[in-house]
Chains A and B, each alone.
Chain A
Amino acid sequence: MVTGREDRIVNGVVYALLLLVAVVSVFPLLFVLSASLTPYSEVLRNGGYVVLPSEFTLDAYRALLAEPAIPRALGVTVFITVVGTAINMVLTTLMAYPLSRRELPGRSAVLFMLLFTMMFSAGLIPTYLIVKATGLVDTIWAMIIPSAVGVFNVLIMKTFFDHLPQELIESARIDGAGEFRILVRIVLPLARPVMLTLGLFYAVGHWNEIFHAILYIRDQDLYPLQIVVRNIFLRSQSIENVDAAALPTVTMQMAAVVIAAVPMIVIYPFIQKHFQKGVLLGSVKS
């Protein structure tokens, strides 16, 4: 084939650029990781930047995990991530599927109505009043229910559904399958990459939850992880407070950042598996 040479050049360029991306991304990250594993004086001695620490200690991690606040917050965050994402995905799918059906009367109006809420947000206080009226303030649900559906994600899922092979859906319908059945048996397996992607988007959104917690949560026992991590930072920066004792060191701050990020990073490779060319076809045929 004549494309042999082009193939090699393209491969070369692809690998080179990917390596570049890897280098650009990874060096600043090492900054965080090494800072969490090294006494801060060591970091500063190297001009604030250590790539490979010469002294190595897990003290910061031990200290953080020994505090009751972090494991407790981790529990809260895992809960809102798992339950929240489940609710998100169910509701989003239930909206995206009908909206992907061009023949559905009123579809445009609903789409516009959704989009409208992306532009016009109601503001802090009225939203608080509704959250309060529905009894969610200072409960774990305040971090789940008010963000039960993301318009952005509905639109993305709908766009993917738009492009599924209509013949399959049509033939199922002719076979007398109901809409729910078509959705569960045909559409969802076909849409696996987008379902995983949006699941990831939602999960990461919940994992990084801080906004609703600031507004609606006063009970320290319900603080999610990111609030606790942020408080560690604020504590170390407060100068107004003479009494602040045993301030979290930079090492601890960075360790907190790592702890807060690792679980979401670890799940990513599981999702990546489904992002390879051709995997989808295999699943459809089987």
Chain B
Amino acid sequence: MRKFIRILSALTVGSVLLAACGGGDEPEEGEGGTVQLTVAEFSYGTELPDNDPVKAQLAEELGVDVELSLGVDPDEYWGQLATTLASGDAPDLFFVDRIHLHQMANQGLLLDLTDYIDEDLGTFDEFVGEDSYLQTTINDKVYALPKRGSGYNPNTYWIRKDWLDNLNLEIPESVDDLMTVAKAFTEQDPDGNGQSDTYGLTGATLGSAANNQAWYPIWGAFGSGGPGVFYEKNGEIVNGFDDPATKDALEYINSLVGAGVVDPDYATNTLPLDHERAMQGMAGIINIEWPRMQKPEFIDQFEELQPDAEWVQIAPMAGPGGSGAMPLDLYTSGGYAVPASLAEDEEKLNKIFELMNYISTEDGNRLVSYGIEGSHFELAGDQVTMTEQGVAESEPFWLYQFSGRDEASYLKTKFDYASAAIDFAWNQPTMEVHRSLVTPPEGYNDTDAATYAAQQVAQFINGSRSLDEWDAFVDELKTQFGYQQYIDAGTQQLEDLGVAG
């Protein structure tokens, strides 16, 4: 025991020394006219390298020392941000989505940036485009510098082409085809292993939300955008719960589940368990974003397991409601807000604008997208080619893409091997739906309503509540949970923003 303690204390002393060394080389104060800017955002676990080339380049180019303060996951980030705001340690620039933007603007925490846009942010303004401001505008005032959205949905259904071939089936184009194929995948032993161990379709829940990943490509077939979202139909804004098409779609989904062709664990799978199951050969159809099916680090894990697997993308299902479309919410990218406390700090504000403009120029955006020319990428005309070093090191650079990026060329440059899949996802028919632009009205408890709706929709899907009661359900939702207020407010807001209706 004593010896053990001695080892521990040796380690301890070592770690103190290490910590001391680590702390030493941090330039706290800006030197030689450098301005330090703290930027808070979430990282999904991406870690900054010790010698950060983008940071260094920004310092050289603009005399700005960008210090990123990263929250690992969104929930954690909001808590951290709230504490820093409350304690007067607000970062100089911080990521916000629309709901939080709304609250923070109402509490007077954010600097009104409207006037600066035209005067100081010309390059940025041009880069992000007018539509982006919808996310960060409240009562005609811009409270955050919007991030340019990606403008596409990376998800599609992927299907096992080799299974289709084994069973002499065609790629499904309509919801009826989908049912046929899913049944065949479940019942006719598509992998020929003599066991009944496959399903048509797998899925996963998206956090605690009502919607299951599995159904997205189906709603459009019935002309619905999905339960709970707003979309335009016949020139009017409707909410999914008010649209009979949603009920039709649920009826169909219920028949899929009832036929036993859906992975029975679809409701408890969390992302990315559905992916794992598909790659294991348990299911032949999955709705998933292309990186999971194309990037080598994912493929490598599973290649050995199902060497014959040939996955192909398929377009959204056609059905009674039309030729099919993937629901797409264009306004989820958020933006970066400046705390009200910086109102008088000309120097910092100017640096922020300079930074935002710079990363919106061609050169600057290349820097935050691909890294340093010559070491991370080569430039020939407009054509960017990643070097080996670039491929290896460029992962964390996206953390500096505060104004966004040119998505299409970015993806094709960095993931050129997946160009075909990217194009497919990019070009699939979509249907614009709105959720992120809508702010719940005061006094309405969005969580309770969402909980109730999610529970009931789950029951309609698994058949424990009959869809005959759909109207009764919508009525309960509107009267007992005040959902009508949400519909009214949402419709009004979307009309005011001029995005639909």
Contact = CB atoms under 8 A, between A and B. Distances in A.
A128 interface: yes
A242 B408 CA distance: 12
B152 to A, nearest CB: 11
A215 B415 CA distance: 36
B48 A41 contact: no
A237 B271 contact: yes
A215 B83 contact: yes
A234 B22 contact: no
Contact of A220 (B4, B15, B47): B47
Interface string B255-285: 0000000000000000110001001100000
B9 interface: yes
Interface in B1-41: 1, 4, 8-9, 11-12, 14-16, 18-19, 22-23
Contacts of B396: 243
Contacts of B1: 270
B82 A125 contact: yes
A74 B298 CA distance: 29
Given A75-B15, A267-B4, A244 B46 contact: yes
Contact of A235 (B18, B44, B279): B44
B292 A239 contact: yes
Interface string B374-399: 00000000000000000000111110
How large, as a class, is the contact surface on chain B? 35 or more
B304 interface: yes
A242 B291 contact: yes
A183 B144 CA distance: 61
Interface stretch (B72-80, B316-324, B356-364, B480-488): B72-80
A242 B425 CA distance: 14
A215 B411 CA distance: 35
A181 interface: no
Contact of B72 (A128, A129, A234): A234
B501 interface: no
Interface stretch (A22-30, A77-85, A88-96, A152-160): A77-85
B176 interface: no
A58 to B, nearest CB: 18
- Prevailing SS type, chain B contact patch: helix
A220 B48 contact: yes
B80 A75 contact: no
A231 B45 contact: yes
A283 to B, nearest CB: 15
Given A238-B45, A239-B272, A244-B44, A82 B12 contact: yes
Contacts of A173: none
Contact of A132 (B50, B70, B87, B280): B87
B19 A132 contact: no
Contacts of A244: 44-46, 395
B446 interface: no
Contacts of A267: 4
Given A231-B72, A245-B395, A237 B83 contact: no
A230 B303 CA distance: 27
Contacts of B303: 41
Nearest to A248: B45
A78 B271 contact: no
B18 A75 contact: yes
B83 A125 contact: yes
Nearest to B44: A238
B208 to A, nearest CB: 15
Contact of B305 (A45, A215, A247, A270): A45
Contacts of B411: 242
B154 interface: yes
A82 B8 contact: yes
Contacts of A246: 297, 395
A232 interface: yes
Nearest to B40: A218
B118 interface: no
A72 interface: yes
Interface string B292-316: 1000011001111100000000000
A163 B386 CA distance: 72
A76 interface: yes
Contact of B83 (A79, A124, A220, A235): A124
B8 A69 contact: no
B402 to A, nearest CB: 15
Nearest to B279: A44
A240 interface: yes
A78 B48 contact: no
B180 interface: no
B162 to A, nearest CB: 18
B452 to A, nearest CB: 27
A218 B394 CA distance: 23
B429 to A, nearest CB: 22
Contacts of A234: 44-45, 72-73
B242 interface: no
Given A242-B291, A243-B414, A246-B297, A222 B82 contact: no
A221 B19 contact: yes
Interface of B: 1, 4, 8-9, 11-12, 14-16, 18-19, 22-23, 44-48, 50, 69-70, 72-73, 76, 79-80, 82-83, 86-87, 89, 154, 271-272, 276, 279-280, 289, 291-292, 297-298, 301-305, 394-398, 411, 414-415
Q: Closest 6 interchain pairs by CB? A: A75-B15, A235-B45, A238-B44, A245-B395, A221-B22, A234-B45
23 contacts: A41-B305, A44-B276, A45-B305, A69-B47, A75-B11, A76-B15, A83-B12, A124-B82, A129-B87, A215-B80, A215-B83, A218-B69, A234-B72, A238-B45, A239-B292, A240-B44, A241-B46, A243-B395, A243-B397, A243-B414, A246-B297, A249-B301, A270-B4
Given A75-B15, A78-B11, A241-B46, 12 more contacts: A44-B279, A72-B22, A76-B15, A78-B15, A82-B8, A82-B9, A83-B12, A128-B87, A220-B47, A232-B45, A234-B73, A239-B271
